[in-house]
A and B are shown apart, each in its own frame.
Chain A
Amino acid sequence: MTGPFRISEGGRIDRATTLQFTFDGQPYTGHPGDTLASALLAAGRHQVATSIKLGRPRGIAAAWAEDPSGLVQIEEPFPEPMLLATTVELSDGLVAHGVPGQGRLADVPDSARYDAVHHHVDVLVVGAGPAGLAAALTAARSGARVALVDEQSEAGGSLLSGSDVLDGAPALEWVASAVAELAGHPEVLHLQRTTAFGSYDDGFVLALERRTDHLGAAAPRHLSRQRVWRFRASSVVVATGAHERPVVFADNDRPGIMLAGAARTFLHRYGVLPGREAVVATTNDSAYDAALDLHRAGVRVQAVVDARPEGSPRRREECEAAGIPVLPMSVVTGTQGVDRVTHALVAPFADGQVGAAAAIACDLLLVSGGWNPAVHLFSQARGRLRYDEALGAFLPGEQLDGLSVAGSAAGVFDLAGCLADGRRAARAAVAARGIPAADDDRLPVAPEPVVPAAPLVLWRVPDTSAAGGSTQFVDLQRDATVADIARAVGAGLRSIEHVKRYTTIGTAHDQGKTSGILTSGITAELLGTPVRDTGTTTFRPPYTPVAFAALAGRDRGRLFDPERVTALHDWHVAAGAVFEDVGQWKRPRHYPRPGEDMAAAVLRECAAVRTGVGILDGSTLGKIDVQGPDAAVLLDRLYTNLMSSLAVGSVRYGVMCGVDGMVIDDGTVLRLAEDRFLVLTTTGGAAKVLDWMEEWGQTEWPDLRVHCTSVTEQWATFPVVGPRSRDVVGAVFPDVDVSAAAFPFMTWRDTTLAGVPVRLARISFSGELAFEVSVNPWYAVAVWERLLDAGRPYGITPYGTETMHVLRAEKGYPIIGQDTDGTVTPHDLGLAWAVSATKADFVGKRSFARAHNAHPLRKQLVGLLPVDRDTLLPEGSQIVEFAADGQLPPPPVPMLGHVTSSYRSAELGRPFALALVKGGRARIGGTVHVPVNGTLVPVEVTGAVLVDPEGARRDG
């Protein structure tokens, strides 16, 4: 027997097996089937935590996820903060302790696996209580594809907490047969320990399955610990039951005070007596079941305190027959005790007035203020709620397409009604799917329901003490009281959403499952308005807390985002490349030699290219194959310059603008045939440019006979660059005449190497003589190595993106997106030569005629040379100008622009920068200043082209 409060038989626990666990450093035992809470209660331990603000002792106030109180930190098997003792299934070796409202995240990596599954069904049933099981059976029998999810360790819902009878036998026998029948339907997925936590549009429901948590340290490593199910259901049946609601009174937070229904759960499901001497305070008939059940189990029930004027004559009779005193027209006004309740203060209650209180000894105080249907998933799916005056609860207030609510979640509280309601919802769901109902969808017969006496809606007992509601806890986890709500209302808050945020009620782990509706009721009372007008706060996912690890699933670490690598990646790694991320691509940034930092490596690589020969892996450049009789027309309309006049075999640089005239990408275009072009884009712009071409082709010019497709990954491309590049390329491709006359700049040639097709193009992004070598990526390594072999006599140097950037910046070639933002035209970049004056129209052309495009103070791309020949200007630095007196103008100092690119130049022997500067071209030769680390650095404004402005080097 584990603990003095464990009864000898009954419940869903395995008494033959004993589990050891540690709580707050004390050893305890329990059984499979226990939760941490039930095992602690079996040992007589109620207090598990202290409260966050006031440090008050707190215990277990409910039996499942609605508990606002009993938060624990798990230490073993793996540290996890802020779990409820009531929802942690006991496992051998569990180590836990209570927390004062805050836990501690693990400081070691979580090595468990998490994953996700997409699942499509005709009917998703949430909740395996009587309504949910009836719905799942009905749908399954019709042949529909069904998923049934339930958050508990086993099916049954409320039937696990009571002693109901179906077909004249214990109801759990029917539950077992229903589960077995569902298992026999091949199209049914039945998941326990699975919480539907989010309900969205069009039958999209997220659920968290806890697959191995209950196994503790014995969890198999190959199974994912938790799984997120992404359901898409034609119909969702929400059969999530109801949460019992407390009544608020003074000192209602002491350990030993719990919901009446929770006591039944601990008794019937776990075989645990939550106390020896109980007082039961209620406003409705349901708590009488707890009083009678506990009495039969041997608990001395001191009194049932019923707030209703009439009480419940029938239930009173049952109690008195059992020797349980019933005090009608009475309420609990407060409690006594320190770590555990010792007395309930009971007073007469009539017409909203309380009389003098008398103390009744007890170690357990059960409370019931009625039941709140668990409408969360309905409300998350934007279902409107309506307030039911008689129940004091919010119910689904409309029909939603594809989502219905059944059973006590819809306000049906008797067993027969729940079964029938589940079947009704399922029949409607399969009918909407066009599936005929099964011939036999018999459900068990429940006893004729007894109509309960009308409940009393009572949110709080008037506080006649000097405390003024400051110990009447509404949200135990937030230590928020009736006095706090009164303060909010007193401060002028009227909206329940504002009251929530002012008081923090409903913002804890439980998201107000017990406190939310109480707050609506108490706020309405204080405002003197109807509860239906006050309404509720918005129900938002998740229904219960979900670990980020579960949401992330497998999308962590290397799987967080796809990595794109070129065919040469392994070669780069072996060569010691330092990589940088360019979009999803991994690109070599530089290839440091021993002892070199990046600056030294880049200076060496730059010098090699400008004086000898270098080679770059340019395979990531975007490549789009544009084909069709109207291919040239499409490109003419999308590029600022003329592409239709390009000869087959030639290459042209092009600029692409938005309709606003601002540059969106640039690149080169190869004409492969009359009806075929290869468009090369920037690495980052590849997808965007393809989108752009398809958008215009489809939406504006569907008459054009043209198709575009990405061939980025079909070509590996290596620029061989530098004055000796002709020697290298000529040696590797001896059948190609690589002379400037036979193979001029901006042309391309196809050839073969050992039978493999290769394309050569005279394109330069550095100003040097250069040949771009393109080949099927299968042969990338072979071709690359042949080029290296041929280049060895010339000291061929592999270079990375950083060197590529320095070389292009020295030539004033802008990087779209680095040297530009969305406000820069081709003219601003000095690319007016690439804007056709002859084409009647192209995208962006009309915007160039707007007056502002000719404004002399537009920002223009220029070069900057720090006068001290030493300072590397940080990219992004602002540019300012001294006034005539040689001083900065008074603040706010006008900003002239900013540095867009900045590097050290081997060629120039000094740092340089590109910048966008207001009226920049008119400032060439002048001096401006750039603040660097608090010092104003004088810089000379130059043209953007700093190396070989005459273009003398391009032919070698």
Chain B
Amino acid sequence: MQLIACPWCGPREEVEFSYGGQAHVPYPDAPGELSDEEWAHYVFFRDNPKGRFAERWNHSAGCRRWFNAIRDTATYRFERVYRLDDARPVTS
């Protein structure tokens, strides 16, 4: 069981957190102007890479704050956590 570093609370047990899927998928500005296909992409389509992935996490049994993380989906390692208002980190 991993420790996950909440940007506000510091390292906490994995069981305190819940997963929120891919990060940086903003709610569209004007959903009504999207085609059905474009809307379906927002609702249903997410990336599924092997390796680094920008994800949303919630410290649901702690401070209840949402944050973003860069996690390696192959090793499960969290490489970076960052606040929602931080820009997506550049990862090589």
Contacts and interface: CB of A to CB of B under 8 A. Distances in A.
Contacts of B28: 846
B76 A846 contact: no
A700 B25 CA distance: 10
A699 B36 contact: no
Interface string A158-197: 0000000000000000000000000000000000000000
Interface stretch (A199-207, A673-681, A858-866): A199-207
A699 B85 CA distance: 9
A200 B2 CA distance: 8
Interface in B9-37: 11, 20, 26-28, 30-32, 34, 36
Given A659-B43, A700-B27, A846 B66 contact: no
Given A698-B84, A700-B27, A847 B1 contact: no
Contact of B1 (A204, A699, A840, A851): A204
A691 interface: yes
A691 B42 CA distance: 21
Contact of A695 (B11, B40, B44, B58): B58
A660 interface: yes
A850 interface: yes
A695 B65 CA distance: 8
B6 to A, nearest CB: 13
A841 interface: yes
B60 A850 contact: no
A850 B65 CA distance: 33
Contacts of A699: 20, 56, 66, 84
A177 to B, nearest CB: 36
Interface in A827-880: 840-841, 845-847, 849-851
Interface string B53-65: 0001010100011
B34 A846 contact: yes
B44 to A, nearest CB: 8
Contact of A849 (B11, B26, B32, B42): B32
Contacts of B58: 691, 695
A845 B31 contact: yes
Contact of A847 (B2, B26, B39, B76): B39
Contacts of B30: 841
Given A660-B43, A694-B64, A846 B31 contact: yes
Nearest to B29: A841
Contact of A850 (B27, B39, B56): B39
Nearest to A204: B1
A629 interface: no
A702 interface: yes
Interface in A663-701: 691, 694-695, 698-700
A839 to B, nearest CB: 11
Nearest to A840: B32
Contacts of B1: 200-202, 204
B36 A851 contact: yes
A937 B36 CA distance: 41
A702 B84 contact: yes
B43 to A, nearest CB: 5
Contacts of A698: 65-66, 84
Contact of B32 (A694, A700, A846, A851): A846
Nearest to B84: A699
Contact of B2 (A202, A659, A695): A202
B84 A695 contact: no
Contacts of B60: 691
A204 to B, nearest CB: 5
A702 B84 CA distance: 9
A691 B64 CA distance: 9
B27 A846 contact: no
Contact of B76 (A201, A232, A849): A201
A849 B40 CA distance: 12
A138 B66 CA distance: 42
A850 B20 CA distance: 25
Contacts of A660: 43-44
B78 to A, nearest CB: 10
Interface of A: 200-202, 204, 232, 659-660, 691, 694-695, 698-700, 702, 840-841, 845-847, 849-851
**Closest CB pairs A-B (n = 10):** A846-B31, A201-B2, A202-B3, A698-B66, A700-B27, A204-B1, A659-B43, A699-B66, A846-B39, A200-B1
7 contacts: A659-B43, A698-B65, A699-B56, A700-B27, A702-B85, A845-B31, A847-B43
Given A694-B64, A695-B66, 9 more contacts: A202-B1, A660-B43, A691-B58, A695-B20, A698-B84, A699-B56, A845-B31, A846-B32, A850-B40
